[in-house]
Amino acid sequence: MQKIRTALLSYGMSGKVFHAPFLNLHSGFELLGSWERSKKLVQEDYPAVKSYPTIDELLADDVDLVIVNTPVGTHFEYAKKVLLAGKHAVVEKAFTTTVAEAEELAAIAKEKGLKLAVFQNRRWDSDFKTVQKVIKEGVLGDLVEAEFHFDRYNPLLSPKAHKETVNDGAGILKDLGPHLIDQAVCLFGSPKSVFADIRFTRENSLVDDWIDLLLIYEDFRVRLKASFFVREANPAYTIHGKKGSFLKPRGDVQEDDLKLGKKPNLESWGTESETLQGLLHTEIEGKEICEKIPTLQGNYFSFFDGVHDAIANNKPEPVTAQDGVKVMQIIEAAIASNTQQKVINL
């Protein structure tokens, strides 16, 4: 198997939790190290790797793939530098801060024959994979509406300055919003128009922390919501069709397990509790059923497997730059809708 030499642009929470464990697990990747500006932590977990003092030294090394996992406002600058250096790139969400930036990165990657993927790991959450399966099976009939939530109860401001100061990458719309939007686009394609309500709800908050987006499709509607003031959780996914409904709590365990230092595997990883199974209430072959549906296994390893296949075998990226462009188009439309208080056509 071809070894893809990979480096991270930071080793904070995302590098330590979401990237390094899977790169280390996958036999097709070699983790070379991480750019670390002040804290030198990567070698504590992976003694054989390098800690690069600058991005230029990282790019001068024999690196094939760079993970751009820095704050959102820096994604465009660093991803562009990576691509112009002739390296493949994976960029975390939000892909960029504007549609124009996303399109420019996509154009550079295409011109240089490089792979550019967006790290939308939530496509491989156990709960979302199960929702995707239920919809694909058609047991709900023609869809009428869907509502996705990514809610938390956390009224305190983040200690990370880039998350709470006014900048192009801050706010819940570009933090949790891309997860919800990407999942909707993955399931249903791009909507024809968007209506959005974006609020500041925490005391002294300088950035948006509550969103309610309505994605308008030809024959159905999708509502996407995120909030920091939800103590009693709504279903993460509610889908209603002309035959029936499916309600699924958020149940994926991967992030929590990774934060606890658990190492991913290919067998039992991403297996959520049976108590969080979704409820399917519908009619199949003339018979009404109301039953819990077993949850599929989640595994972010599949994203990295797709990235390896894209680079080694010239296959499409698991989440393409064009997927990232579509998400940014909806985010820009949501901002315009909230400002102008009207529906924005895409």
**Number of structural domains, the chain?**
2
The enclosing domain of 98 has a CATH number of: 3.40.50.720
One domain for residues 256 and 157: yes
Could you tell me if 110 and 138 lie in one domain? no
pLDDT at 78: 98
Residues 69 and 189 in one domain: no
| CA angle, 241 then 242 then 245, to 5° | 40
Residues 192 and 223 in one domain: yes
Do residues 132 and 77 share a domain? no
* Residue 315 host element (H or E): none
Mean per-residue pLDDT for 19-48?
96
What pLDDT band is residue 17 in, cutting at 50, 70 and 90? Answer: very high
Residue 274 tokens, joined: 């049976």
Per-residue confidence (pLDDT) for residue 160, from 0 to 100:
87
**Tens of pLDDT, residues 222-267:** 999 999 999 999 999 999 999 999 999 999 999 999 999 999 999 9
Q: Mean per-residue pLDDT for 311-319?
A: 98
The share of the chain scoring above pLDDT 70, in percent, equals: 100
- Domain of 156, CATH number, reads 3.30.360.10
Query: Are 193 and 166 within one domain?
Result: yes
Are 153 and 105 contained in the same domain?
A: no
Residue 17: domain span: 4-121+303-319
Whether residues 278 and 223 share a domain: the answer is yes
Confidence of residue 1 (pLDDT cuts 50, 70, 90): confident
- pLDDT greater than 90 at residue 107: yes
Is 291 part of a structural domain of the chain? yes
Q: Which two tokens stand for residue 113?
A: 């024959």
Does this model's pTM top 0.85? My answer is: yes
103 and 128 fall within a common domain: no
Specify the long-range contacts of residues 282-291, CB closer than 8 Å, at least 24 apart. 282/139, 282/140, 282/141, 282/241, 282/243, 282/244, 282/245, 282/246, 283/243, 283/244, 284/139
User: Is 324 within the bounds of a domain?
Assistant: no
Contact call for residues 310 and 318 (beta carbons, < 8 A): yes
Residue 325 lies in a domain: no
What pLDDT does 39 receive?
86
Q: For residue 194, is it left (φ>0), alpha (ψ between -120 and 50) or beta?
A: beta
pLDDT for residue 162: 86
In a domain, 127, yes or no: yes
On whether the CB atoms of residues 181 and 214 are closer than 8 A, the answer is: no
In terms of C-beta density within 10 A (0-12 exposed, 13-18 middle, 19 or more buried), how is residue 267 classed? exposed
Residues 195 and 336 in one domain: yes
Mean pLDDT of the chain, nearest integer: 97
Residue 129 pLDDT more than 90? Answer: yes
Peptide bond into 20 cis (omega under 30): no
Are residues 308 and 257 part of one domain?
A: no
Residue 109's nearest CA partner among 88, 90, 93, 91 is 88
pLDDT tens for residues 139-196? 999 999 999 999 999 999 999 888 999 999 999 999 999 999 999 999 999 999 999 9
Per-residue confidence (pLDDT) for residue 161, from 0 to 100: 87
33 sits in the region (left: phi over 0; alpha: psi -120 to 50; else beta) called: left
Band (pLDDT 50/70/90 cuts) for residue 49 is very high
Q: Is the pLDDT of residue 270 over 90?
A: yes
- Do 281 and 208 lie in one domain? The reply is yes
